[in-house]
Structure 1
Amino acid sequence: MGNDLIWNEVDEYFIEKLIPFDSALERVLHVNKEAGLPEIDVAPTQGKLLYLLAKIKGAKNILEIGTLGGYSTIWLARALPEDGKVYTLEAEEEHAKIAERNIKQAGCRDKVEVIVGKALDTLPNIKEKGIAPFDLIFIDADKPNNPYYLKWALELAMPGAIIIADNVVRDGEVINETSEDERVQGIRQFISLLENEPRIESTALQTVGSKGYDGFVISVVK
């Protein structure tokens, strides 16, 4: 049995045992696929991890950089108290429209604001509007800009905030310093910033499963 098959079957086992079937979330994945969105949403086990981290943190004000169809957004929103809010940034207008419909159908409309535009253009507006500081920030957008997203995350985070970045292993390519993939180089620069940033403590988790071989960086702002 190949590793990929084993990873998928183990994912399915944990999903069956630990994540009750949720028709709203399943519908989101179906709608996203039908709309032709890239199938790059977090896996259900990863969505549940985001949910639990937000719960453990007691997060009330969350920033998500990269909405896509709103699957991870809904996981985060469900972890919030009644007065909590997720501000999620999406560069593509059509993706944002799909996400807004999905979020509404999932019953999370009052807890989510979708902000349309390139994140490096909308992040300054967030600062000006006084929406920050955030107690949890999830970075899951275009990887070449991860170094810039980290700099903004540190500026917009409160002390003790959790910062999570997805897709940091890149099927192991993260260790290839000569990679010509700008996504890999973006992650490597991101990791170098973390290495030399005294305001934050970090670790990385390699993951395998239905999304292949990848991983998260999880950080806490001092």
Structure 2
Amino acid sequence: MAKSDPNWSDVDDYIVRHLIGEDPALDACLAANDKAGLPAIDVSPAQGRMLELLARSIGARHILEIGTLGGYSAIWLARALSDDGRLVSLELEPQYAAIARSNLERAGQSGKVDIIVGEAVSSLSAMKESQAPLFDFVFIDADKENYAAYLDHAIRLSRSGAMLVFDNVVRDGGVIDPDSDDPKVPGTRALYEALQNHSKVDATAIQTVGSKNWDGFLLAVVRA
């Protein structure tokens, strides 16, 4: 089976034209990321809008993002928040965090977002010790090797009923390919294994195709 199809991107373009429209702030964010040499691994516009709508649908006031990159998904998520809401975004690379802060400022969302630079597992552990407010929504799009660990931290830091979303959980079908040479597949599989029959979380995953090729999202809700 082909792992990509030009029609996928064409359909994404159709969706954006009809349901999202032009967005200068987001276009400027992607342009700045490209100019700075950041990897082009952001969610697509349609996926970004999906994240925004999911967060809005549950009335999220406190959002956690693991993996800021240049701030593209952070802009979408920040737009889901009311003026008194807060997004905490974790980023390993100081350069990426600086670019993200600039992009968020340009998009008029910097006042809602705190970017914490450093190794995410350490930052998450410190957040637990600080007894910060529990999160309503968590988006994880970072190093796949730590996905199972991020799941544990997300559960501890979230309220009952919180929504957790993991990106890149299909990986061109590599998640079921025993011969896959993708080094990110083992961590993705570990996430599925951790969630199988989990006592605190209900979860599903859905495959996606589009401008980001063949991949998918995993959606979970923390039980009461």
Normalising to structure 1: TM-score of the pair? 0.97
Asked if residue 73 in structure 1 is aligned to residue 68 in structure 2, the reply is no
For residues 171-182 of structure 1, the aligned pairs below 5 Å read 171-182=172-183
Aligned-residue offset at 1:178: 4.8
- The Cα offsets for residues 48-86 of structure 1, whole Å up to 9 and x where unpaired, read as 000000010100000000000000001000000111000
* C-alpha RMSD over aligned residues: 1.1
Percent of aligned pairs with the same residue?
50
Per-residue deviation, residues 24-56 of structure 1 (Å, max 9, x unmatched):
000000000010000000000000000000010
1:150 Cα offset (Å): 0.5
Q: Give the Cα separation in 1 of the matches to 2:113 and 2:202.
A: 28
User: Structure 2 matches for 1:5-16, cutoff 5 A?
Assistant: 5-16=6-17
Distance 2:29 2:203 in 1: 31
Aligned residue in 2 for 1:194: 195
- Count of residue correspondences: 221
Aligned to 2:99: 98
> How far apart, CA to CA, are the structure 2 residues paired with 1:178 and 1:137?
31
Q: Deviations over 1:119-152 (max 9, x none)?
A: 0111111112222310000010000110110110
Distance 1:34 1:152 in 2: 34
In the aligned structure 2, how far is the partner of 1:133 from the partner of 1:177? 38
1:39-58 map, 5 Å: 39-58=40-59
Compute the displacement of 1:163 (Å).
0.2
- For normalisation by structure 2, the TM-score amounts to 0.96
Give 1:174 shift. Answer: 0.4
Alignment gaps of 5+ in structure 1:
none
**Aligned partner of residue 212 in structure 1, secondary structure:** coil
Q: Distance in 1 between the 2:103 and 2:197 partners?
A: 39
1:136 corresponding residue in structure 2: 137
